[in-house]
Chain A
Amino acid sequence: MQSASTAEAPPTAINAAPSPVRRLLATDRRRLVFCLAIAGLALLPVAGLVSFAIGGGGRVWPSLLANVLPRAALTTATLLAGVALVAAVVGIGTAFLVARCRFPGRSFFEWALLLPLAMPTYVMAYAWLDVIHPLGPLPTMLRGLFGITDPRGLPLPELRSAGGAIFVIGLVLYPYVYLPVRALLLMRSAALGEAARTLGAGPLRIFLGVSLPTVWPAAALGLTLVMLETLNDIGASEFLGIRTLTVAVYTTWTVRGSIEGASQIALAMLAVVILVMALGRLARRNLPAQSGRTQRRTSERRLGPLGGSFAFAACALPILLGFGVPGGYLAGAALSRFLERGIPAGLAAAALNSVVLAALTAAITVAAGLALAIAVRGARNPAVAPLAGVAGLGYAMPGTVLAVGLLVPVAALDNRLADLVRAMTGEAIGLVLIGSGAALLLALSLRFLTISARTLDAGLERISPSIDGAAQSLGAGRRRIARDIHLPLLAPPLASAAILVFVDAMKELPATLLLRPLDFETLATSLYGEAARGTHEDGAMAALMIVLVGLAPVIALIRRR
């Protein structure tokens, strides 16, 4: 029976106690259910990793803690900081140049600056290593120039180093920053900067005090993707001999045969990533809200000969290093193979598989990402945003870890399904989810969902809520607002999201390698089939096709505008 003492347990408190939870479940129910469903799917690989992790003891830890993790953590931090710096400087700098200045070649640079995006990091690493090897084209040319005969006489920077990895990875990833920053600059007025100029502020002060804060939300979005991609890279890091934390996971798994230990490290890393991202979210919450105004194309500054040459060089260099040199190398290698042996059997089929897989992944992630972004926008339920964050977990872990984690629940479900069908019909259907490629498609969609969700979220943020309010007051329903107002305004970010995911899915290797059905090759897997046995020149044609097929939409995206 209830005690009479109000201090101990007031009856009102008992009645009120379940109400916050109930309220949480009752508000925005459809948004909540949707986000819960996606977050549940995103947690599947984590559940798989947990099941591996608890199956093992702590056998791997003493040696890792003593000899590997401290150094690997430092290497990883160096790599992250370096790549972020390269991506920020190149991405923001070139975006400003092409969006705010007029100089020779600008209309070419606008789209060409995206080209390195099509280059897989591991291909970049192979290509550059060959190009600057003492017997490679660049040192040979330089030695010829200086009349040096001994290859040891011309020491070039060592690419197999943290600096080399920063160079290779940063040059491929800066477009993630360039793309959203440029888009933001095109929509935002330069009026603030002009006002600052009339008040006597110099260009540097305007850039640091006015322009940079303006683009920071877009740059931060890009840099988050850059850093997650860098953290989870195995291909380039392993090839260049950079011992990062992710490489430690990989080594524990493949060399020491301990998926259990590898899962333990991967989960620990994931926890840190989640913590850092949650802190970042909190920090962003305190930023003043951005004005939602969209503007006419802003006034541009015409650069003089000196400034114009500088701008030209600053835009040409990343394209040359991130695309021209490795792309040219690939083209050369592909051509010499083609002349020797013709087109490898199965290349066309692999290309078709790649395109279909990447297009389906893009379609799924854009649809789900749009739904997520809309669900989060204006949600009154405080649980919606964190759940949407969970939905992006697939990008917060290495692709190979995601794939092996996802195997556990998907294969379990697949087996249930097969047993059920056998019990009902006597038919042995085998594993349909894995055998049909659905598991692979799920893995890729989970992996890249965050790219589309964040891109679309940023796009939605630029649509002022007052537009919704106005439409509502004129009697438009939610659905009509979404269809007639949001969708047209979202066309550019939708295209960006689709293309980013398409290109990423074209390049994706580890999840595809592990989860694909029998007899299913993509361009990336056939390239890797050669690279893994040290004959990456034989994969040059596949690599070139990844780049070319990835390029077409990149160019289309930019030219459309």
Chain B
Amino acid sequence: MTTRLIGAALFGLALATPAFADGTVNIYTTREPALIQPLLDSFTADTGIEAKVVFVKEGLAQRVETEGANSPADLLSVVDYGNLIELVDRGLTQPVDSAALKDAIPANLRDAAGNWFALSMRARVIYAAKDRVTDETLTYEDLADPRFKGEVCIRSGQHPYNTSLIAAMIAKDGVDATRSWLEGVKANLARKAGGGDRDVARDILANLCDVGIGNSYYVGLMRSGAGGEEQKAWGEAIRVILPTFKDKAGTHVNISGAAVAKNAPNRDNAVKLLEYLASEKAQEIYAKANFEYPVRPGVAADPIIATLGELTVDPLPLTDIAKHRVEASELVDAVGFDG
């Protein structure tokens, strides 16, 4: 016991950091460090406010919730509207009323009450074999078409990127139609659903499959050579189609976003950071470094992403789609999508 305490004390001395010092802002994030650090560095350089980060994967909501009133968390930065809505539902956020944010972010990309704000978008697109698929346009529904039998690659159906897409289809076409679509896609799989979105491109290059689904920014990461020469070849092997649902309304997008923590000790700095992240300068970083779509109108996407074509965002509100997320996840299990 004493050893335990001494060890803890020593460790504490070694690491103790004043989380409440002036001029800091503490960020809890599920965004990977390499994606968020350049933005924070730029923020600190501009404002002198020190940004402290902890990258958490699962359990961000639980950590903030259990830490309660004394939590050092100021800004909660997450990917996926489902996670933003969960933070609000669990009462972990506070509303922010900022003219700068309202000007920068379109109304459909932020919470009406000001609890969360989208900061970047990514489209769920179709990767098709450049030399083997001739279609100019495809719908998500087409992936269940028997002509793609044994030719579809996709990551786990349980991955949030996919449950989000499936939830959108449920919102549009209902559970039954979505179930038969999932069964159709499963019947078309070239391999077990799994891996990441980039594996789809790699497997297309390897001629394991002809079509698949992936996020738009991976195309930028691969084609730019940011992931090395090898990945450049994967990116070049695919043609990107911005698909729509069969209603032709638009492409399914997801967002990354942020919320100010309910008990934020540095609330003002958190709002400043949020406004900075929505500024033109930061939005350009989102576009250039991460190959995401900026949310701020007037900021251009990266040239590589621009070549994918004009993005028309599916107008179905994200909050409506969110209601079907659990159903979507259960449907994936029900059809045994992941094998």
Q: Footprint of B on A, CB under 8 Å?
A: 34, 37, 52, 63-64, 66-68, 71, 129, 133-135, 150-152, 158, 160-161, 239-241, 243, 250-251, 253-259, 336-337, 340, 356-357, 360, 363-364, 367-368, 400, 403-404, 407-408, 411-412, 414-415, 418-419, 428, 430-432, 434-438, 441-442, 445, 510, 513-514, 516-521, 525-526, 528-530, 532-535, 537-538
Contacts and interface: CB of A to CB of B under 8 A. Distances in A.
Contacts of B69: 415
A533 B33 CA distance: 10
Contacts of B4: 364, 367-368, 442, 445
A532 B32 contact: yes
Given A241-B339, A364-B7, A526-B33, A435 B206 contact: no
Contacts of B33: 521, 526, 529
B279 interface: no
Contacts of B7: 360, 363-364, 441
A241 B156 contact: yes
A408 B65 CA distance: 9
B67 A411 contact: yes
Nearest to A234: B58
28 contacts: A160-B192, A161-B192, A240-B194, A241-B195, A255-B163, A257-B86, A257-B325, A259-B61, A336-B228, A356-B11, A360-B11, A367-B3, A403-B59, A404-B58, A411-B66, A415-B68, A428-B265, A430-B19, A430-B20, A432-B12, A434-B67, A437-B11, A517-B17, A521-B33, A526-B33, A530-B32, A533-B35, A538-B227
Contacts of A529: 32-34, 55
Given A150-B207, A400-B59, A520-B15, A534 B198 contact: yes
A407 B265 CA distance: 20
Contacts of B71: 431
Contacts of B196: 534
A325 to B, nearest CB: 18
Contacts of B195: 129, 160, 239, 241
B19 A241 contact: no
B160 interface: yes
B42 to A, nearest CB: 16
B82 A257 contact: yes
Interface string B185-201: 00000011111111000
A437 B63 contact: no
B334 interface: yes
A256 B330 CA distance: 9
B228 A340 contact: yes
Contacts of B158: 251, 255
Given A407-B66, A407-B67, 11 more contacts: A52-B62, A68-B333, A161-B192, A241-B193, A364-B7, A415-B67, A430-B19, A514-B56, A514-B58, A530-B34, A534-B197
Contacts of A411: 63, 66-68
A150 B205 CA distance: 11
A63 B330 contact: yes
A484 to B, nearest CB: 21
B207 A152 contact: yes
B334 A517 contact: no
Contacts of A66: 334
A135 B233 CA distance: 11
Contacts of A517: 15, 17, 54
Contact of B67 (A356, A404, A414): A414
B26 A67 contact: no
Contact of B326 (A34, A256, A259): A256
B20 A436 contact: no
B10 interface: yes
B281 interface: no
A320 to B, nearest CB: 24
A151 B72 contact: no
Given A404-B62, A415-B70, A436-B16, A158 B192 contact: yes
Interface in B104-126: none
Contact of A435 (B17, B35, B53): B17
B300 interface: no
B207 A241 contact: no
A340 B227 CA distance: 11
Interface string B136-166: 0000000000000000000010111001000
Q: Which of B14, B67, B71 lies at the interface centre, i.e. has the most chain A CB atoms within 10 A of its CB?
A: B67
A510 B58 CA distance: 9
A64 B218 CA distance: 33
B15 A513 contact: no
A63 B12 contact: no
